[in-house]
């Protein structure tokens, strides 16, 4: 992940609804990212009932839950969260690639922004730095969701009017 992140925009999220799908595997790290993301959404004015959280067993199950949630047409954007850490095999890379592909296809097919917040790390130390340390990826994922929901709302306003 790049350390050259964009500057946060000031976006009013008070009229937006977000779906957050979070894996339970590596729960302590995912919870840190989840709490940070929700905190950022609240800072932008998203009300308590403007965020729905679905929990799934692991990152591999995230795309299915995202699709189920977005099929309702209730959300302006979705944040998909999980933490994959390299073990003794490359299983984490296989899951990361399949999840990335599925999330992108869901976003394009349903025309709803899906922020890929699946952290892929070579070690637990890397994962901790990204999830609960100084990098604060949860905040970044929420900012991306706010920006994309705002973009989607502007596009729909142009087409409706």
For residues 77 and 79, give the distance between their C-alpha atoms in angstroms, rounded to a whole number.
Answer: 7
DSSP 45-113: T--GGGEEEEEESSGGGHHHHHHHHHTT---SEEEEEEEEE--SSSHHHHHHHHHHHHHHHHHHHHT--
For residues 66 and 42, give the distance between their C-alpha atoms in angstroms, rounded to a whole number.
Answer: 21
Would you say residue 1 lies in a domain?
no
User: Among 46, 44, 60, which Cα is nearest to 21's?
Assistant: 60
Q: What kind and span of H or E run contains 39?
A: helix 27-43
CATH of the domain at 26: 3.40.50.960
Would you say residue 131 lies in a domain?
yes
Would you say residue 5 lies in a domain?
no
Query: Which pTM was predicted?
Result: 0.91
Annotation says 92 is catalytic: no
Would you say residue 4 lies in a domain?
no
- Looking at 91, 111, 154, 155, which residue is catalytic? 91
Would you say residue 2 lies in a domain?
no
Domains contained in the chain, number = 1
The number of beta carbons lying within 10 Å of the beta carbon of residue 155 is: 11
Kindly give the confidence (pLDDT) of every residue in the chain, 161 residues in length, as a single tens digit, with 9 standing for 90 and above: 455 555 566 899 999 999 999 999 999 999 999 999 999 999 999 999 999 999 999 999 999 999 999 999 999 999 999 999 999 989 999 999 999 999 999 999 999 999 999 999 999 999 999 999 999 999 999 999 999 999 998 876 655 54
Domain interval for residue 89:
18-160
Dihedral of the alpha carbons of 67, 105, 144, 11, in degrees to the nearest 10:
-70
For residues 41 and 51, give the distance between their C-alpha atoms in angstroms, rounded to a whole number.
Answer: 8
Would you say residue 7 lies in a domain?
no
Would you say residue 6 lies in a domain?
no
Would you say residue 25 lies in a domain?
yes
């Amino acid at each position: 992940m790049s350390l050259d992140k964009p500057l946060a925009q000031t976006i009013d999220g008070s009229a937006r609804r977000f779906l957050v799908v979070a894996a339970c595997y590596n729960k302590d790290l995912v919870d840190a990212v989840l709490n940070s993301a929700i905190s950022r959404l609240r800072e932008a004015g998203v009300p308590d009932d403007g965020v729905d959280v679905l929990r799934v067993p692991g990152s591999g199950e995230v795309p299915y839950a995202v699709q189920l949630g977005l099929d309702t047409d209730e959300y302006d954007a979705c944040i998909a969260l999980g933490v994959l850490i390299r073990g003794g095999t490359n299983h984490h890379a296989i899951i990361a690639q399949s999840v990335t592909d599925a999330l992108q296809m869901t976003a394009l097919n349903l025309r709803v922004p899906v922020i890929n917040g699946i952290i892929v790390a070579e070690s637990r130390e890397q994962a901790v730095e990204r999830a609960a340390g100084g990098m604060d990826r949860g905040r970044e994922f929420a900012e991306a969701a706010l920006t994309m929901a705002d973009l989607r709302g502007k596009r729909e306003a142009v087409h409706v009017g």
